[in-house]
């Protein structure tokens, strides 16, 4: 027999007041954002989708289907790995890119895992939100070992 895992509901379950309350009319289709459209329309559509849904699907992005398939396969392989292996590339306050699984929404831990990376490696960003601060921070990607298809 398998082992039983107990879940700390206070840590993982949103209170009823914070749970989504979709109606059938609201939840029948995910917003589609067509990247081939005019920039002003894109900005408005993305803002609307984020505000109303919190996510959207992108179409006409120019990524070939084979590349999309490879990315999806590599992501599935990475996220199926044991937690201790994924945590070797965990992001923190110094290494801001990499794996993360302890994000919170309204003080409740989210049931998700993410892996953040940048296309330009390293990436230079402002060190603070102060417009008079000329300091820059350097963000560098972390990549998992033994998963060559995961790195772009």
Question: Looking at residue 7, what is its pLDDT?
Answer: 65
What distance in Å separates the CA atoms of residue 13 and residue 11, rounded to the nearest whole number?
Answer: 6
pLDDT tens figures, 107-136: 888 888 999 999 899 999 998 989 999 999
Helix (H), strand (E) counts: the chain: 4, 8
Question: Looking at residue 74, what is its pLDDT?
Answer: 92
What distance in Å separates the CA atoms of residue 121 and residue 123, rounded to the nearest whole number?
Answer: 5
At 140, list the tokens.
């560098």
Task: Give residue 10's pLDDT band: very low, low, confident or very high (50, 70, 90).
Answer: low
pLDDT tens figures, 29-73: 889 999 998 999 999 999 999 998 888 999 999 989 998 899 899
Task: Tell me the pTM.
Answer: 0.66
Mean pLDDT, the chain, whole residue set = 86
Domain positions in the chain are 82-145
């Amino acid at each position: 027999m398998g082992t039983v895992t107990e879940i700390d509901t206070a840590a993982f379950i949103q209170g009823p007041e914070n749970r989504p309350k979709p109606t059938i009319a609201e939840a029948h289709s995910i917003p589609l954002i067509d990247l081939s459209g005019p920039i002003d329309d894109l900005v408005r559509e993305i803002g609307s989708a984020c505000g109303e849904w919190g996510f959207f699907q992108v179409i006409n992005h120019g990524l070939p289907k084979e590349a999309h398939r490879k990315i999806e396969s590599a992501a599935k392989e990475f996220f199926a790995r044991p937690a201790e292996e994924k945590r070797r590339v965990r992001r923190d306050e110094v290494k801001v890119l990499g794996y993360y699984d302890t994000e919170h929404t309204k003080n409740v831990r989210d049931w998700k895992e993410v892996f953040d990376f940048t296309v330009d490696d390293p990436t230079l960003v402002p060190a603070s939100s102060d417009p008079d601060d000329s300091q820059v921070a350097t963000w560098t990607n972390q990549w998992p070992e033994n998963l060559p298809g995961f790195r772009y």
